[in-house]
Amino acid sequence: MIRFRHTALSLGLLGALTLPAAAAWSLQKALPIVELKTGGSARVLVQWEPGEIRCNGAPVAGQPIRRPWNQLSWAGNQALRAVTVRFAIDATGRPVSLARETTGFVPLSEDVEPALAASRFAAGKSQQGCTVTYTMRSSPLADAAVPELMSYTVHPLSGRLPDEGWQRIRAAGGTCLSDPQPQPLERHFPDFATIPATPGVRDWSMIRYDIDAAGRTRGAAVLIGTGNRALDGAAVKAIRESRFTKGARTGCFYPYWRAAAKLPAPVMPESIRTTKVEGNCPDQHGWAVPPQLRFPEPYRRRSIEGWAVVSYDVAPWGQTGNLKVIAAEPSDEFGKQAMAMIRDAKLPSSQQGFTGCVDRVRFNMGPEVSPAVGGEGGAPVPGA
């Protein structure tokens, strides 16, 4: 058994958007559409939209379906692309056995399967033969939806949002975003340890508020976010208790976020746990060059654990070969990563080598870092 344990990080990726039946965002107040001049960075905001989900030909509704992270790209580089994923749903409503049907490399799509793995369906009955197609769309920053730009700023996966994007966000605010900008004298934060975290999802709440002449906040309310009610309430309270430099301002923004909770790997069935392959490989063996344990990065970002069972042969000089993935959950990416790790490893030299070796690789996150320690909290929108 090869056990991978990765130190958990409180700085996980933004938990993407929850897609309820009606809309992707919970908007407490409509944001204006602002006409801005184009040009400048020639960057575009890339989004992945899930299509209809069907299992054995019948439509299935998610509860909810998580959207992949927004990213930045360059104008002219984004032809229409799509990624189709096949999967199953277990009795708890969890997507399992994820595998991409789309062949070839698709840029900016690395969070498609992890986002689906963090989604949920109705519990009670397992389902097979499920598929969903995610379609990429891109928007010039000057035309992108303000909530989508705000989502990106909470965790800028592709680098800092260019000025065009910030200009559009500022235009949706008020006098708070004009110079001279108010400075925080007393910034309050929620007690994150008391706020339930969502497995595989980094929750966040964008708070909109005004500031009166004395520097007190007024009218604090949730503008948009991922729908964690406990975080929403605590974030509003924290803004109400914060204080700023004197001078009345309107239309201020500030996001608070809660790191994703660990999403444990599905249980490994006993039939997989005891898998044997015909050959002469000893049950116990050492390593001359141990596997370099590497967690699949897109799943690490969401704190999603997994496992894989891999069979292989060994040459007399210790090199591994003929590698095959027997099983992997919750995604075949864990099998690919386990195979790559074992392929680069070596066993001690032997007279005849071995056939039919089987190793089980568990990808485990380390103990979760207390949310009171660093990282978690808020990332200020410029001018807020």
Average pLDDT over residues 247-261: 93
Same domain, 254 and 288: no
166 within some domain: no
Reported as a single tens digit per residue, the pLDDT across 132-174 is 999 999 999 999 999 999 999 887 888 899 989 988 988 888 8
153 within some domain: no
Same domain, 246 and 374: yes
Amino acid at 199: P
Same domain, 81 and 96: yes
Same domain, 255 and 345: no
Reported as a single tens digit per residue, the pLDDT across 72-123 is 998 876 566 899 999 999 999 999 999 999 888 899 999 999 999 999 999 9
Same domain, 317 and 248: no
Task: Count CB atoms within 10 A of the CB of residue 187.
Answer: 16
Average pLDDT over residues 267-273: 93
10 vs 208, higher pLDDT: 208
Same domain, 225 and 199: yes
1 within some domain: no
Same domain, 296 and 355: yes
Please tell me the predicted confidence (pLDDT) of residue 374: 39
Please tell me the predicted confidence (pLDDT) of residue 255: 93
Q: How sure is the predictor about 3, in pLDDT bands with cuts at 50, 70 and 90?
A: low
280 by DSSP, 3-state: which?
coil
Question: Rounded CA gap, 196 and 219, in Å?
Answer: 25
Average pLDDT over residues 344-366: 94
Task: Return the H-helix or E-strand segment holding 341.
Answer: helix 332-343
Amino acid at 376: E
Please tell me the predicted confidence (pLDDT) of residue 156: 85
Same domain, 46 and 136: yes
344 within some domain: yes
| CATH number, position 59 | 3.30.2420.10
**Cβ contact 249:180 at 8 Å:** no
* Residue 268, both tokens: 């490994």
Last residue of a domain, one of 86, 114, 140: 140
190 within some domain: yes
Number of structural domains (the chain) is 3
Same domain, 52 and 99: yes
Question: Rounded CA gap, 345 and 335, in Å?
Answer: 16
Q: Which residues contact 185 (CB under 8 A, 6 or more apart)?
A: 215, 243, 244, 245
Same domain, 222 and 78: no
164 within some domain: no
14 within some domain: no
**Cβ contact 154:379 at 8 Å:** yes
23 within some domain: no
Mean pLDDT of the chain, nearest integer: 85
Same domain, 276 and 328: yes
Average pLDDT over residues 316-323: 97
Query: Cβ-count burial of 282 within 10 angstroms (0-12 exposed, 13-18 middle, 19+ buried)?
Result: exposed
- Provide the domain limits for residue 103: 42-140
Last residue of a domain, one of 91, 119, 140: 140
**Cβ contact 133:365 at 8 Å:** no
Please tell me the predicted confidence (pLDDT) of residue 381: 53
In this model, does residue 37 exceed pLDDT 70? Answer: no
Same domain, 374 and 245: yes
